[in-house]
Structure 1
Amino acid sequence: MNEQRSTVRPKIEPISEPKRFVPQAYVSAEALSPFSSEKLARLLRAEAGKAGTSALLAPELNRRKEPLEALPLDTMNMVGLLDKSGQKVALVRAGTLLYQVRVGNYLGQNYGRVTRINETEITLREIVQDASGEWIERPATLQLQEGTRK
């Protein structure tokens, strides 16, 4: 066995020379980093300066905020309905407090304006940003919660 090993030589091709590394100069060293918060701030300022970008949002920014706009919509419950002088008034519980809500009032943190109130739900129109950053209207509802007591 040892005799065979000593007589048989495997044929191995020589390894080619490694390629020479040529360094490239980095020319964007002084440019703004794509991950910089400064770059994001510049883009947001430019976007805010465009006319018509926030046509839906502009009227909402110039009005006084209502108390229920400080809370997320999912923390509120519709617990009842009143009829005051022929106008429907919904009773909304937020935490331990009870609020009277009419058509035209605002709820939630997405500029949700009450558009309709009936016996079983409050219908709202919210203004939210879509994936592309455009402001769009989105319907939302707050259902009557029977038997909710805290």
Structure 2
Amino acid sequence: MLSVKYRPASRSITKSRKQYRTMLLQCALASVFASGLSGCGDEATVELSEYVKEVKARHKSRIPPLPTPQQFEIFNYNDGGLRNPFEPTVEIQALETNNGLQPDMVRNRDVLEQYALGSLKMMGSLEKNGRLWALIWASDGTLFRTTVGKHLGKNNGRILAISESEIELMEIVPDGLGGWIERTTTLAVSE
């Protein structure tokens, strides 16, 4: 026996109608978009085309060529016979003679030699058993008593004389040329 299935025709018709409507709607939308884009683009495209023509029509300026580099003579430096700038001149070498003056580095240091001379102040003097003593105030607040022959300051200063108003001392300082020189300095009573 042969079996035949029946399909109603309305289904296939409704399906093809839906496809037809969808296709028709797509075509309508495409034509609307195409007409909208062509209407908007014409004016801007025309302005752009005119500007491009104007730029191309402008006078083109020529850039001048680069100048040729200037040729310099090569200088050869010959240092033969010239003095070395790192060695002292002859005049300075003559002054560097050792005069034999040197501070005594092996003697016992006095207490006041640990202070710079600028940090010491003479506060006054007093006399005891015919000997004049100077009163020295250090920057750390300590008061010292010293007399002639003692040392003070960092430059090997030896006290030569003491008066009521000042101390006279002889310092041995470097001369900057490798030697030593003596220098007289005074430390006066501070106000």
Structure 1 length-normalised TM = 0.61
Query: CA offsets, 1:98-141, max 9 Å, x none?
Result: 00010011010100000000011000000011232320000000
In structure 1, the partner of 2:179 is 134
Unaligned runs of 5+ residues in structure 2 are: 1-66, 78-85, 87-96
Label 1:19 to 1:135 Cα distance change in 2 as closer, same or farther (>3 A): same
Question: Equivalent of 2:152, from 104, 107, 110?
Answer: 107
Deviation at 1:145, TM superposition (A): 1.3
Q: CA RMSD in A?
A: 3.3
In structure 2, the partner of 1:83 is 127
> For the pair shown, which has the larger CA radius of gyration, 1 or 2?
2
Label 1:114 to 1:17 Cα distance change in 2 as closer, same or farther (>3 A): closer
Unaligned runs of 5+ residues in structure 1 are: 1-13, 25-33, 35-51
Q: Distance in 1 between matches of 2:189 and 2:69?
A: 78
In structure 2, the partner of 1:69 is 113
Q: Distance in 1 between matches of 2:150 and 2:71?
A: 74
In structure 2, the partner of 1:94 is 138
In structure 1, the partner of 2:60 is none
Aligned sequence identity (%):
37
* Amino acid in structure 2 at the alignment position of 1:135: W
1:104 aligned counterpart, secondary structure:
coil
Larger relative contact order (C-alpha < 8 A, sep ≥ 6)?
Answer: 1
Q: Distance in 2 between matches of 1:88 and 1:76?
A: 18
Q: Distance in 2 between matches of 1:114 and 1:131?
A: 24
Deviation at 1:54, TM superposition (A): 7.0
* Amino acid in structure 1 at the alignment position of 2:117: L
Label 1:87 to 1:133 Cα distance change in 2 as closer, same or farther (>3 A): same
Aligned: 1:143 with 2:154: no
Deviation at 1:67, TM superposition (A): 1.3
Q: Per residue, is there more strand in 1 or in 2?
A: 1
Q: Distance in 1 between matches of 2:75 and 2:142?
A: 71
**Residue pairs, 1:25-64, within 5 angstroms:** 53=98, 55-58=100-103, 60-64=104-108
Structure 2 length-normalised TM = 0.49
